[in-house]
Structure 1
Amino acid sequence: MNDAISPSRYQLAEIGALLAEPARAAMLLTLIDGTARPAGELARAAGVGAATGSAHLKRLLEGGLLAVHEQGRHRYYRLANDDVAALLEALALPRTRPTLPTPAGGDRALRIARTCYSHLAGRLGVGLCDAMLARGFLLAASDGLRLQRTGADALIDAGLAEAPVHALLPLSGRGCLDWTERRLHLGGPLGVSLAHALLEAGWLRRRTGSRALQPSDDGLRRFAQLGVRLDGDG
């Protein structure tokens, strides 16, 4: 994970100190969906004032967990990379498999499908990764997971447009540990671009005010064509 996350015990201790502050942890979790947000919004999410929020953001930038984009006089903060998102998801991994909340609960929606730094996570993300690996659509290469031509053809046959699918072929991905399912979903540049293609095609829809994703009825049929089903709650 770049220089910010290395095996050095001193750097690990610094990361632990950064995450141990609840306000900083809240800011990071607000950005785990891959968005970029202004300081004021992050301060409100953390429940702190503007000055305190700025101090926390400065520490997170110096610690390599955040990056900032300047647009005119405005500054927008985001996670430094998807390795940071993977770290946050892994640290949220429960000691035991979580009990599924009631159907009306927002946690259930997050468990079914959500964004993790803009790639598809949750039961749907894990199921898609499993199915594509089992069918040889994804194969491990020296630089990570690669979409194979057979996988590209399968995505096109399932209804994705050729142009965005062909754009996936040069990209590499990697397995990202899913905190609710305790298995891997597809992360990295390939995972981000695939999730974007699924959203653009309408297989998935964003939920307002949440990183949970809603699979459409048409999307569920197309996922099933790829070997991915969401039968039952287990």
Structure 2
Amino acid sequence: MKDGPDIARLAALIGDPARANMLSALMAGKALTASELAAEAGIAAPTASSHLARLEAGGLVRQRRQGRHKYVTLAGDEVARVLEGLMGLAAGTGHLRTRPGPRDAALRKARVCYNHLAGDLGTRLYDSLAARALIRAEGESVSLTPEGAAAMAAFGIDVAGLSRGRAPLCRACLDWSERRTHLAGSLGRALLTRIEELGWATRQGESRIVRFSPAGEAAFRRDLAPI
């Protein structure tokens, strides 16, 4: 018997098409019911419950009961990061599911990656922060500079409060559609929340799409990603 992490078990959990579809749906960052996930996977509710029990036992999702419903979320940022990486690998090797053109274009422009901004605008934000020396990237390590902390505070983000949390403040996340980095971590989450608070963008229904208004995109490019 080989020692070390059992990646085959996790790969088998993710590799089932129904479970993969449910995990992809949870990448929008919202808690979904078993019935909603069954619809996403195109399977019956009892079958979905069986799949979810296996995903929970494998540490990939969490379930909690509220009233008559059980709500399901991804188990955490690490799971989301693995799924985003697999999406990038699938896209890069030509394993793509066909979707209508406009929706695909919207997903590529701006979408939620679990709890932060991804897509073209997400990578533009990361590149702009790095070019203006507001973040410092050294390999996979990303940190907020003092100038960046001042800029984030001016934008209405409590950097000190975020720094006291358990989640890393900044983290690099490989974008599956752009094949470049976007910003994750508690700062990435706070930036998306602030963008929504300002009314620049809204999440599109139950999908992962983040739709910017024309004025909101102009403000985003002016105030957050001018380069």
Q: TM-score, normalised by structure 1?
A: 0.81
**What is the number of residues matched between the two proteins?**
218
Contact 1:131–1:226, Cα closer than 8 Å, also in 2: no
C-alpha displacement of 1:51? 1.4
C-alpha displacement of 1:148? 3.4
Question: Is structure 2 residue 28 aligned with structure 1 residue 33?
Answer: yes
Which residue matches 2:129? 132
Per the alignment, in what secondary structure is the counterpart of residue 172 of structure 1?
coil
**Amino acid paired to 2:175:** D
**2: CA distance, partners of 1:22 / 1:144:** 33
Per the alignment, in what secondary structure is the counterpart of residue 24 of structure 1?
helix
Structure 2 stretches lacking a partner, 5+ long: none
**Amino acid paired to 1:40:** S
**2: CA distance, partners of 1:156 / 1:216:** 24
**Alpha-carbon spacing, 1:58–1:227, altered in 2? closer, same or farther (3 Å):** closer
Select 1:67's aligned residue among 53, 62, 65. Answer: 62
Q: Percent identity?
A: 42
C-alpha displacement of 1:164? 4.8
**Amino acid paired to 2:215:** D
Comparing 184-193 and 124-133, the one that deviates more: 184-193
C-alpha displacement of 1:140? 4.9
C-alpha displacement of 1:153? 3.9
Comparing 170-179 and 218-227, the one that deviates more: 218-227
Which residue matches 1:3? none
**Alpha-carbon spacing, 1:155–1:173, altered in 2? closer, same or farther (3 Å):** closer
The residue correspondences of 1:39-78 to structure 2 (distance < 5 A) are 39-78=34-73
After superposition, the C-alpha distances for 1:152-199 in whole angstroms (9 at most, x for unaligned) are 443566xx4x35566556561200000000011011222112111111
Structure 1 stretches lacking a partner, 5+ long: 1-6
Question: Is structure 2 residue 1 aligned with structure 1 residue 14?
Answer: no
Contact 2:129–2:225, Cα closer than 8 Å, also in 1: no
Which residue matches 1:147? 144
Answer 1 or 2: which has greater helix percent: 2
**Alpha-carbon spacing, 1:220–1:149, altered in 2? closer, same or farther (3 Å):** farther
Contact 1:164–1:197, Cα closer than 8 Å, also in 2: no
RMSD (CA atoms) = 3.1
